[in-house]
Structure 1
Amino acid sequence: MKNGLSVSQGAALMVGAVLGTGVISLPALATRTAGPASLVAWAALVALSVPLAVTFAALGARHPDGGGIATYARLAFGDRASTAVGWAFYLTIPVGAPAAAGFAAAYVADATGGGPRTALGVTVAVIALCAVLNWYDLRLSGTVQLAVAGVIALLLAVAVAVALPHVQLTYLAPFAPHGWAAVGSAAALLVWAFAGWEVLGSLAAEYRDPQRDIPRATAVAVGVVGVLYLGVAFATVAVLGPRPGPAPLSDLLVRGFGEAARPVTAVVALLLTIGAINVYFAGGSRMGAALARDGAMPVWLARGSGSGEVPRRSLVVIVTIALGVTAALALLDLPTDAVLPLATGTFALLYVAGTAAALRLLPRGTAAWWCAAVSLAAALALLAATGAHVLAPLGLALAGVVWTVLRRPAPPAAREPAPAAPEPALTAPAAGPASRSRAGSTT
């Protein structure tokens, strides 16, 4: 795509995807679950996000295509695996969007003194805004995301900096008041805060130079996310104590600037939410179009599947489902976070599928391949911890396979995504489908 995403825009999109709504409330939840030992859970997940991010960056650089993780599954395991992964991811995005928007909506309602109607209006407005941003060229969305990510990073850094003079080291003892097993429980809660690396693949084809720019953008995003998460987590434990309130960011700002700073948290919550949903709408709409192009979804959705095109039909489906889920939750008087277990189960399933595909697609023995091996082990442990929550995305995956079987006896052959320019040190000279097939079989 000529004049596509730059490194800074790509890094901003990744930061927005990962540094989402989890940072608003999860530091307090983790602290109440494991006490100061929750910092171990934060540090472990930051460390594990490095090989995971490297894995998806390597896949995106070598196989840039809007199908993202569904394309990797197809290249590694075949069409049915791709369909299963694609349906689970594509249909979870609009279901999870109201939950993400609901976090910000609750902050805004609290700051303005509004009630459920205010929260519902903010939820709908956030979804609509992200839909508008993605209706146009991704460069517009990327530029907006760059500004949003910059403001988010600044506000979070300020919140930590003004709170640090109020650190009380006595809050760090006892370090594990609920036992070391609680660290695992805290880590399970924090998975939501580290989801987002999997959507990177669906945007890979939109970079100016995927093989060069994706690793650079990923490195920037990993550094920014790690520093901000660890800073907020430490300040929550060492400044707010063992029983922080439900809005730790707000409390940290108040420690530094007084009560007048509390409404600023609503701004942070809105920006974090817009950043996360914006990226998932961008990646999800491209995945839906790519799946339709490959015969795994209705062909009507395939328009806009090419690099640099805008998959508006796929976007409309995502937004329509998201608004429908929001309306259903409101009518049933259910909180928007009632759908969070579905999203958590989907992330666990996607990470297993993506890292397993990476072991077959990446050159064996390279640094990226070893990162994939470490990530697969961690993803399997996460999948086990997810438990019954994985049943919902498995049901969506099965529905996709059944649809493709019943749709027609012989679906059209999938179009092979164009690989990135080969790296002399990592890729073989051959670039044809037969060569790729032989390379995949040797791994």
Structure 2
Amino acid sequence: MQLVEDTAQKQAAAPAPTGIGTRIKRCKPVERLVDETGQGQGGSLRRSMGLAQLTMISIGATLGTGIFVVLGEAVPVAGPAVILAFVIAGITALFSALAYAELAGMIPASGSAYSYSYATMGELVAWVCGWCLMLTYGVSVAAVAVGWGEYINQLLFLVTGISLPEGLTQPPGAEGGIINIPAAVVVVLAMAALLVGIRESAWLNSVMVVIKLGVLVMFVAIAITAVQDGNFAPFMPLGMAGVSAAGATLFFSYIGFDAASTAGEEAKNPQRDLPRAIMLSMIIVTALYCLVAFAAVGAVPWGIFGETEATLAQILTEVTGTPIWSVVFAAGAVIAIASVVLVVLYGQTRILFAMSRDGLIPKIFSKVDANGTPRWNTIIITAFIAVLAALVPLGHLADATSIGTLFAFALVNVAVLVLRRNRPELPRNFRVPFAPLTPVLGVLSCAYLMLSMGVATWVTFGLWLAAGLVIYFGYSMRNSRLEAEATAAPAEQRP
């Protein structure tokens, strides 16, 4: 009889199970997200960056392989109107940048779009967003590292006339490929910089950004001396359809400004400086892209871009008649791409830090050392990315990063709309102008570009999402901090 009574009492005291629908839709209030910054279970990140460093992080992640290689792909489609295509792509990216600016100032958390989704659309959507960002950042670092290896090889050939053997610069599956050592090396070098500390890493990134800005300004200054009016005619040879197609391609040259938002917990004054850094970087990058495009298509006939693999370095050689400026430019490209690897790897570790603090991935990713650096987080993710860059042909996986990025951008725009409706009283240092129109346009533009992707890319993305859902329902939902708190709370305090 006593056993029956004890069992009944335990059942009465045991928490009533919460429905799965409630569990996947639970949100973290904005106030809590803000309060938790600097309160990681394994220590806190250090606030050491001002507006200049945050702007450099945003520029460092954005200004990379895009302008150095994508121009040659876009000019044959748009002709001299590639300048207009850059403007269109910039305006499209601006919709999402404005949304990031508003939310980064309100929620200065390391999780970026993941944290914004957690505050507005619930845990499952936040997990999917974070899972997409893992793909975007992780594979992007690997892909950029592969590009860095190609530029290193090009620079070596320009200086010495010798190229590295294909067996050491290509992954298995590529012609003659065994292992891509340069790609792995640059990832490890970026890890070493991050392990020293964020202040030193931010300083190093700032130096590299200044160098690559200087190299691109050098290109404009030299190429503009050879600009001829005749090279701009016809301005739009393939019509507006060609400009639109080029704009879709060039949109991905603007991806990267979100990296500044991952520094929310290491900014001295995030509410003020994060929105400014995002918008300032967008202005600088857009202006520089248009100047480079103007100088490039004005210096040589646009048809050359379709007939040969015309690069900015080759244009400098043709304009000056000497290869010395090509060598300087190639060296600048090596530095430019290295800064992208550094900053994007940094952003990856900070998103994982936020997800780990919430219990959605193991706690080791949110432990920090005495320097305020998530050491094991950085080491683990570097090892994974270095192997990916060295041994795996990226193929459609690299294309799927574009969908992952666009999906995250769309969620950030939705988050602005949700908070404007549900929490209009929250202080906003920066407000998206013309809302709700601007965020809606942001969502629609992201959806349009996602739908323009190929079937193979969608299949890869779908498989990645399926794997993420298995992990969420098998591990993350059960280990979430919100789940633990709901289980520990008295039954009458739970919904």
Q: Give the TM-score taking structure 2 as reference length.
A: 0.77
1:190 is aligned to: 250
Amino acid across the alignment from 1:367: V
1:295 is aligned to: 359
1:109 is aligned to: 153
Output the CA distance in 2 between the equivalents of 1:247 and 1:102.
Answer: 20
Q: CA deviation at 1:95?
A: 2.0
2:447 is aligned to: 380
Output the CA distance in 2 between the equivalents of 1:195 and 1:87.
Answer: 17
2:467 is aligned to: 399
Amino acid across the alignment from 1:134: L
| Contact residue 52 and residue 197 of structure 1 kept, 8 A | no
Amino acid across the alignment from 1:304: V
2:192 is aligned to: 132
1:33 is aligned to: 77
Output the CA distance in 2 between the equivalents of 1:236 and 1:314.
Answer: 42
Match status 1:237 vs 2:237: no
* C-alpha distance 210-69 of structure 1, shift in aligned 2 (>3 A): same
Q: CA deviation at 1:200?
A: 2.8
Residue by residue over 1:338-394, the C-alpha shift from the partner in whole angstroms, topping out at 9 and shown as x without a partner, is 643122221121111221122212466953544433322221222222243244334
| Contact residue 346 and residue 390 of structure 1 kept, 8 A | no
Output the CA distance in 2 between the equivalents of 1:395 and 1:269.
Answer: 34
More deviation in 351-360 or 240-249? 240-249
Match status 1:180 vs 2:180: no
Match status 1:12 vs 2:75: no
Output the CA distance in 1 between the equivalents of 2:443 and 2:260.
Answer: 17
Structure 1: unaligned runs, 5 residues or longer = 416-443
1:313 is aligned to: 376
Output the CA distance in 2 between the equivalents of 1:313 and 1:250.
Answer: 39
* SS across alignment from 1:180: helix
Output the CA distance in 1 between the equivalents of 2:169 and 2:467.
Answer: 36
Q: Give the TM-score taking structure 1 as reference length.
A: 0.85
1:226 is aligned to: 286
| Contact residue 80 and residue 297 of structure 2 kept, 8 A | yes
Q: CA deviation at 1:140?
A: 1.2
Output the CA distance in 2 between the equivalents of 1:227 and 1:297.
Answer: 40
| Contact residue 65 and residue 203 of structure 1 kept, 8 A | yes
| Contact residue 58 and residue 258 of structure 2 kept, 8 A | no
Residue by residue over 1:409-440, the C-alpha shift from the partner in whole angstroms, topping out at 9 and shown as x without a partner, is 7433349xxxxxxxxxxxxxxxxxxxxxxxxx
More deviation in 362-371 or 188-197? 362-371
Match status 1:286 vs 2:350: yes
* SS across alignment from 1:386: coil
Residue by residue over 1:118-143, the C-alpha shift from the partner in whole angstroms, topping out at 9 and shown as x without a partner, is 57333222111111111132111111
Residue by residue over 1:24-76, the C-alpha shift from the partner in whole angstroms, topping out at 9 and shown as x without a partner, is 11111100122122222111112233332221122111111111111111111
Match status 1:71 vs 2:136: no
1:360 is aligned to: 418
1:435 is aligned to: none
Residue by residue over 1:237-262, the C-alpha shift from the partner in whole angstroms, topping out at 9 and shown as x without a partner, is 11122223535220343224721111
2:18 is aligned to: none
Higher Cα radius of gyration: 2
Q: CA deviation at 1:195?
A: 0.8
Output the CA distance in 2 between the equivalents of 1:223 and 1:109.
Answer: 32
2:94 is aligned to: 50
Output the CA distance in 2 between the equivalents of 1:142 and 1:408.
Answer: 32
| Contact residue 313 and residue 325 of structure 2 kept, 8 A | yes
Amino acid across the alignment from 2:417: L
2:325 is aligned to: 261
Residue by residue over 1:204-231, the C-alpha shift from the partner in whole angstroms, topping out at 9 and shown as x without a partner, is 1211000111122223212210111111
Output the CA distance in 2 between the equivalents of 1:316 and 1:164.
Answer: 44
Q: CA deviation at 1:5?
A: 0.6
Output the CA distance in 2 between the equivalents of 1:322 and 1:281.
Answer: 9
Q: CA deviation at 1:100?
A: 0.9
Question: Which of 167, 174, 189 in structure 1 is aligned with 2:227?
Answer: 167
Amino acid across the alignment from 1:173: A
* C-alpha distance 375-358 of structure 1, shift in aligned 2 (>3 A): same
Amino acid across the alignment from 2:362: P
Output the CA distance in 1 between the equivalents of 2:350 and 2:476.
Answer: 24
Match status 1:322 vs 2:366: no
Output the CA distance in 2 between the equivalents of 1:170 and 1:408.
Answer: 60
More deviation in 127-136 or 215-224? 215-224
Amino acid across the alignment from 2:402: T
Amino acid across the alignment from 2:324: A
| Contact residue 260 and residue 278 of structure 2 kept, 8 A | no
More deviation in 237-246 or 132-141? 237-246
1:412 is aligned to: 480
Q: CA deviation at 1:337?
A: 6.3
Residue by residue over 1:112-164, the C-alpha shift from the partner in whole angstroms, topping out at 9 and shown as x without a partner, is 23133357333222111111111132111111111111111111011011111
| Contact residue 46 and residue 372 of structure 2 kept, 8 A | no
1:348 is aligned to: 406
Report runs of 4+ in structure 1 exceeding 6 Å deviation: none
* Percentage of matched positions with identical amino acids: 22
